[in-house]
Chains A and B, each alone.
Chain A
């Protein structure tokens, strides 16, 4: 509640301005009410309420109720105000190039941030209150005419179905609207950055903003979004493309590497070149654990250190990583508990998972699953595990969209934003899986070229001097 507003805008006019004001021409019972309305509550937002219940409810929001003796009505004045965190750069989604601002906990600020990015009357915001006790404001944002109406309708329907006592974070919403609650893959995306949400809205997605958290949900969420980053689009396209390939390699390394290590060393060492084989065998000499136990042991240690580093305050976290990485790693090798290649493989798999921050826990699950299968059945287990995971991913859908699209079902027109990040002037249409109407994004033929190059005719409606 805003104390200054109560003092300056309600109390001061009532006590001081009212003395010098002209009496209202209205006669009768409502004279005093009209007088207060006309002369004291100037430029204040207020409503008249007639039930005590409503008064109670609104007061809990931070409003002020003004009762007048002898009248069965109360004036509810909007004095909602509270301290919110300033707009800061989110720690979780740091960028080198691109806007630094992030969402805050205050939904009005978040909506304003979004409106500032998309200044169109077509940006529609629909709010509702969810949570029986908390009555949290939840807001659906989409761009009318770009977003698929069916998806918007589905989001609305799924949100209205939620009945819970409290919504404290957007994760509560996610748990109720996701398509595959038992899957290890997320089918609802989240981000802390307005520019990312704006980009997704422009692609035809729907965002769900929840009061009290900077994490905004976006649906439908497809698997390619884990390898897409906002910087891919802000930097030049060759670097965007290469970064995307690197992230793909990161996913492959982080999920496959430990399992591959176990499958090769424990089952089929003959697939390695002889020199490499001898080096690995020499470093495994005297290691008491089998390869699978070694990998599990190191994997658990790595995840422990990572988790400890995240939770602790930053300076302490750094100390933990140094102690963990240097001391434990070195000591483990020196004491002969684990071999050096195993440490390398674990650390490489762990580091690679940091290149794809979204869904990092999913990759730990996959890594473990493949590791256990490879420990039981070698390469066959690895193969089987991958087929099962691939089949599972292919069977997922997010708000009706196949999870692996546009890779499968393949849509080569949309590979411009999958295999490569095509130049912006070449991404003429929006992703077709999301919306079918209003697909045009860029004017065709907008590739920059030197002036005077008349080889290609300008698009009709262009500069008439060339005609």
Chain B
């Protein structure tokens, strides 16, 4: 049964953070570490700054074109033909990012838990679960994320707390061993990933706003932006930060799972 898809701003934030968080925990640290080595924490700071700026841009766009998605208003900004191209890229981006997340998830289970099982089983399983959730509607999806996210956060904090004694500050040195370039290179992939998800976040928040507008309260439209920054800021600083710090300062940092590579 599809519900009418009315979710609150908080639920939207939960959805965005949930989308970003999994990749931030499992996937990105390995990517950043590959390039930036012991200076990875600087990359993280850089990405945070970049993320907030990107979020601001998209949020202000969202405030300027209330109730419309990026596909709808891109034509107004850059002209119709180019807008169509942006819209196409944007739609493809979602297919890409979802394929990416499905594969990421399947790989994680395959490598860590059941190496002899074909990876397609995990992909099929998670796609089935996702299809079931989507069939139930946006509201249900938002509610599930509201239950799941606090659980994930608690577990994450638990892990961080348990490994605290293992943190060795000496592993931060030498600082900037090979100059600033590796830090920038390390910041590149996550920056791309997060920028994508900022706009993704706006797509989530906008329907909620459109609904509020219909009920005659346009003041709600102006604060979709801050919410999406808030969500991503939370994802960037509050959550990713400590866990990255842990991962980079841990003696086994080289063992962190890396995409497409051996671990």
A residues whose Cβ falls under 8 Å from a Cβ of B:
267-268, 377-380, 384, 387-388, 390-392, 394-395, 402, 404, 407-410
B133 contacts chain A at the CB level, 8 A cutoff: yes
Name the residue of chain A whose CB is nearest to the CB of B14.
A410
A384 to B140, CA, bound (A): 16
A447 to B126, CA, bound (A): 50
Whether A407 lies near B125 (C-beta < 8 A) is: no
A390 to B141, CA, bound (A): 10
Using A384-B125, A409-B146 as known contacts, say yes or no to A378 and B114 having CB atoms under 8 A apart: yes
B8 contacts chain A at the CB level, 8 A cutoff: yes
Whether A380 lies near B122 (C-beta < 8 A) is: yes
A408 contacts across to B, CB distance below 8 A: 142-144, 146-147
B257 contacts chain A at the CB level, 8 A cutoff: no
Using A387-B129, A391-B136, A394-B136 as known contacts, say yes or no to A402 and B113 having CB atoms under 8 A apart: no
Task: Tell me which residues from 128 to 178 in chain B have a Cβ below 8 Å from any Cβ of chain A.
Answer: 128-129, 132-133, 136-137, 139-140, 142-144, 146-148
Q: Shortest CB–CB separation between residue A411 and chain B, in angstroms? A: 10
Using A384-B129, A387-B129, A390-B148 as known contacts, say yes or no to A267 and B114 having CB atoms under 8 A apart: yes
* Most B CB within 10 A of own CB, among A268, A377, A407: A377
Using A391-B129, A408-B144 as known contacts, say yes or no to A377 and B121 having CB atoms under 8 A apart: yes
Using A267-B113, A378-B114, A391-B136 as known contacts, say yes or no to A410 and B10 having CB atoms under 8 A apart: yes
Using A378-B113, A408-B147 as known contacts, say yes or no to A395 and B140 having CB atoms under 8 A apart: yes
B95 contacts chain A at the CB level, 8 A cutoff: no
Whether B147 lies near A380 (C-beta < 8 A) is: no
A391 contacts across to B, CB distance below 8 A: 129, 132-133, 136, 140, 144
A402 to B7, CA, bound (A): 13
* Further pairs besides A384-B125, A409-B142, A410-B10: 10, Cβ < 8 Å: A268-B114, A378-B113, A378-B114, A379-B113, A380-B113, A380-B121, A387-B144, A391-B136, A392-B136, A394-B136
B109 contacts chain A at the CB level, 8 A cutoff: yes
A379 contacts across to B, CB distance below 8 A: 109, 113
Interface CB pairs A-B, < 8 A, 20: A267-B113, A380-B109, A380-B121, A380-B122, A384-B126, A391-B132, A391-B136, A391-B140, A394-B140, A395-B1, A395-B137, A402-B139, A404-B143, A404-B147, A407-B146, A408-B142, A408-B147, A409-B8, A409-B143, A409-B146
A410 contacts across to B, CB distance below 8 A: 10-11, 146
Name the residue of chain A whose CB is nearest to the CB of B11.
A409
Using A384-B125, A391-B140, A394-B136 as known contacts, say yes or no to A407 and B113 having CB atoms under 8 A apart: no
B143 contacts across to A, CB distance below 8 A: 394, 402, 404, 408-409
B114 contacts across to A, CB distance below 8 A: 267-268, 378, 380
B113 contacts across to A, CB distance below 8 A: 267-268, 378-380
Name the residue of chain B whose CB is nearest to the CB of A402.
B143
Q: Shortest CB–CB separation between residue B115 and chain A, in angstroms? A: 11
Q: Shortest CB–CB separation between residue A400 and chain B, in angstroms? A: 11
B8 contacts across to A, CB distance below 8 A: 409
Name the residue of chain B whose CB is nearest to the CB of A405.
B143
Q: Shortest CB–CB separation between residue B123 and chain A, in angstroms? A: 11
* Most A CB within 10 A of own CB, among B113, B128, B139, B146: B113
Using A267-B113, A267-B114, A402-B143 as known contacts, say yes or no to A395 and B136 having CB atoms under 8 A apart: yes
Q: Shortest CB–CB separation between residue B137 and chain A, in angstroms? A: 7
A407 contacts across to B, CB distance below 8 A: 146-147
Whether A377 lies near B125 (C-beta < 8 A) is: yes
Name the residue of chain B whose CB is nearest to the CB of A270.
B113
A378 to B148, CA, bound (A): 20
Q: Shortest CB–CB separation between residue A210 and chain B, in angstroms? A: 29
Q: Shortest CB–CB separation between residue B244 and chain A, in angstroms? A: 24
* Most B CB within 10 A of own CB, among A388, A402, A410: A410
B136 contacts across to A, CB distance below 8 A: 391-392, 394-395
Name the residue of chain B whose CB is nearest to the CB of A263.
B113
Name the residue of chain A whose CB is nearest to the CB of B136.
A395
Task: Tell me which residues from 1 to 25 in chain B have a Cβ below 8 Å from any Cβ of chain A.
Answer: 1, 3, 7-8, 10-11
Among all A-B residue pairs, the 7 with the closest Cβ atoms: A408-B143, A394-B143, A408-B146, A395-B136, A395-B140, A394-B140, A387-B129
B146 contacts across to A, CB distance below 8 A: 407-410
Name the residue of chain B whose CB is nearest to the CB of A394.
B143
Using A377-B125, A410-B10 as known contacts, say yes or no to A394 and B144 having CB atoms under 8 A apart: yes
Name the residue of chain A whose CB is nearest to the CB of B147.
A408
Q: Shortest CB–CB separation between residue B242 and chain A, in angstroms? A: 24
Q: Shortest CB–CB separation between residue A320 and chain B, in angstroms? A: 39
A391 to B126, CA, bound (A): 13
A404 contacts across to B, CB distance below 8 A: 143, 147
Name the residue of chain A whose CB is nearest to the CB of B134.
A391
A267 contacts across to B, CB distance below 8 A: 113-114
* Most B CB within 10 A of own CB, among A268, A395, A402, A409: A395
Name the residue of chain A whose CB is nearest to the CB of B8.
A409
A171 to B198, CA, bound (A): 50
A410 to B10, CA, bound (A): 9
Q: Shortest CB–CB separation between residue B165 and chain A, in angstroms? A: 18
Q: Shortest CB–CB separation between residue B1 and chain A, in angstroms? A: 7
A410 to B142, CA, bound (A): 10
A384 to B109, CA, bound (A): 12
